């Protein structure tokens, strides 16, 4: 299958080349957007990542160029207009689980760095500053952790917090996980989680229902000093409300690997440029904010699995065979 791959970075190319068993891949650097869609002309499939825009006009342009398949090399699919894809007869496939461990482990890493000031200690000691003032943290043991979304990633995080660190875990999901219940995790509504948690970590997908699930009203319920971690999707948090809560101390720390307006910034080296996003610039001024650039998935194991499953999906589609859990369909109704 001829595949036009958008937003390609050198590491994508390396992992896809290693896994490719006969597909004809054109590695393109630009992000998919209405103006770059014509680059896919003649390719039966496109391969995209989290910040490529697969909107209705883009799908129409792709369809006119002969594209009939969208291969997502990620788990989330909030960037695809699924109804339009269905209307045009364009198949959409994703990588349902390449390494939930990669994201869950990174989430715990962010949480520990933030709570114990490890990110600040790294900077300080390099500057010859070995003082501890300002680095006072707290034990995770015995604290209440709220986990919103207990699918593949959230369940691993909930398990690590409950069984590993000895936290009391409150969780919220539309489908509670019986194994977590057996571990002593309690399911609760988001309001109770906001009111009782010392830490909240987000692992639900971005949907119209979860957009800004953390906003001014949620933060107003929170215990002062709440630690918030988001490795899911930026749109789950209203960044302006988070900044206000950081200023008052209601939010005691924020670690984000995702940001609602990340598409214009993340995955690029902008160190020689002026940052145009005032909200992100403000977030980066807080000592208790830790920002990483959508890095949670980025392990060798995950890249290998992403390439293998994505190209496997292309092979299945070419052979008109069922995609199983990789298939993405528009919600009914």
Q: Which of 23, 203 has the CB closer to ligand NAI?
A: 203
Angle at 279 between CA 278 and CA 282, to 5 degrees: 85
27 vs 293: CA distance, rounded Å: 22
Tell me if residue 233 is catalytic.
Answer: yes
Query: Torsion angle, CA of 21/22/26/29, rounded to 10 degrees?
Result: 0
Is position 204 an interface residue for ligand NAI (rule: CB under 6 A)? yes
Q: Which of 149, 253 has the CB closer to ligand NAI?
A: 149
Is position 178 an interface residue for ligand NAI (rule: CB under 6 A)? no
Contact 198, 252 (CB under 8 A): no
Return the residue nearest ligand NAI (CB atom): 151
Q: For 227, list phi and psi in degrees, rounded to 5.
A: -100, 125
Piece in contact with ligand NAI (CB under 6 A), picked from 117-125, 126-134, 168-176, 276-284? 168-176
Which residue in the list 73, 233, 250, 260 is annotated as catalytic?
233
146 vs 158: CA distance, rounded Å: 8
Is position 100 an interface residue for ligand NAI (rule: CB under 6 A)? yes
Is position 308 an interface residue for ligand NAI (rule: CB under 6 A)? no
Piece in contact with ligand NAI (CB under 6 A), picked from 59-67, 181-189, 294-302, 321-329? 294-302
Query: Torsion angle, CA of 152/154/160/162, rounded to 10 degrees?
Result: -120
Piece in contact with ligand NAI (CB under 6 A), picked from 130-138, 152-160, 162-170, 265-273? 152-160
Q: 32: which DSSP letter?
A: P
Quick one: which of 109, 117, 146, 149 contacts ligand NAI (CB under 6 A)?
149
Is position 82 an interface residue for ligand NAI (rule: CB under 6 A)? no
Contact 287, 255 (CB under 8 A): no
Q: Which of 65, 76 has the CB closer to ligand NAI?
A: 76
Q: What is the DSSP string of 47-115?
A: EE-TT--B-HHHHHHHHHTT--EEEESSS--TTB-HHHHHHHT-EEE--S-S-HHHHHHHHHHHHHHHH
Q: How far is the CB of 86 from ligand NAI (least distance, A)?
A: 20
Is position 148 an interface residue for ligand NAI (rule: CB under 6 A)? yes
Tell me if residue 282 is catalytic.
Answer: no
Is position 31 an interface residue for ligand NAI (rule: CB under 6 A)? no
Q: What is the 3-state secondary structure (H, E, C) of 98-147?
A: CCHHHHHHHHHHHHHHHHHCHHHHHHHHHCCCCCCCCCCCCCCCCCEEEE
Using CB under 6 A, which residues numbered 38 to 77 contact ligand NAI?
75-76
Q: How far is the CB of 77 from ligand NAI (least distance, A)?
A: 9
Q: How far is the CB of 93 from ligand NAI (least distance, A)?
A: 15
Integer-rounded Cα radius of gyration of the chain: 21
Tokens of 301: 């194991």
Tell me if residue 35 is catalytic.
Answer: no
Q: How far is the CB of 64 from ligand NAI (least distance, A)?
A: 30
User: SS3 of 236, please?
Assistant: helix
262 vs 159: CA distance, rounded Å: 29
Is position 175 an interface residue for ligand NAI (rule: CB under 6 A)? yes
Q: Which of 129, 207 has the CB closer to ligand NAI?
A: 207
Q: Which of 209, 269 has the CB closer to ligand NAI?
A: 209
Is position 257 an interface residue for ligand NAI (rule: CB under 6 A)? yes
Q: State whether the Cα torsion 20-23-28-34 is positive or negative.
A: negative
Q: Which residues are catalytic?
A: 233, 262, 294
Residues contributing to the site for ligand NAI (CB under 6 A): 75-76, 97, 100, 103, 148-154, 172-175, 203-205, 207, 209-210, 231-233, 257-258, 294, 296-297
């Amino acid at each position: 299958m001829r595949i036009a791959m958008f937003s390609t970075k050198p590491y994508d190319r390396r992992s896809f080349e290693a896994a490719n068993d006969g597909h004809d891949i054109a590695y393109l650097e630009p992000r998919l957007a209405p103006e770059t869609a014509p680059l896919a002309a003649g390719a039966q499939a496109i391969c995209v990542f989290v910040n490529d825009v697969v909107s209705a006009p883009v799908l129409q342009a792709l369809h006119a160029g002969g594209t009939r398949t969208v291969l997502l090399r990620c788990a989330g699919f909030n960037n695809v207009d699924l109804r339009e894809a269905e209307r045009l007869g364009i198949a959409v496939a994703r990588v349902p689980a390449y390494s939930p461990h990669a994201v869950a482990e990174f989430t715990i890493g962010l949480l520990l760095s933030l709570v114990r000031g490890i990110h600040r200690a790294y900077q300080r000691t390099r500057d010859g500053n070995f003082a501890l003032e300002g680095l006072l943290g707290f034990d995770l043991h015995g604290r209440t952790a709220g986990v919103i979304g207990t699918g593949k990633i959230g369940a691993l995080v909930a398990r690590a917090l409950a069984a590993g660190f000895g936290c009391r875990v409150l969780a919220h999901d539309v489908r509670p996980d019986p194994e977590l219940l057996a571990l002593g995790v309690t399911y609760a509504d988001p309001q109770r989680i906001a009111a009782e948690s010392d830490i909240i970590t987000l692992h639900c997908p971005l949907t119209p229902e979860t957009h800004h699930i953390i906003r001014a009203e949620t933060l107003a319920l929170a215990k002062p000093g709440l630690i918030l971690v988001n490795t899911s999707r930026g749109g789950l948090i209203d960044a302006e409300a988070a900044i206000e809560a950081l200023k008052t101390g209601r939010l005691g720390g924020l670690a984000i690997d995702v940001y609602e307006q990340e598409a214009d910034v993340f995955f690029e080296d902008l160190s020689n440029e002026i940052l145009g996003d005032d909200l992100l610039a403000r977030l980066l001024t807080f000592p208790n904010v830790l920002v990483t650039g959508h890095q949670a998935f980025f392990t060798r194991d995950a890249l290998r699995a992403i390439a293998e499953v994505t190209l496997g999906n292309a092979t299945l589609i070419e052979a008109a065979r069922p995609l199983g859990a990789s298939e993405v369909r528009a919600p009914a109704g």
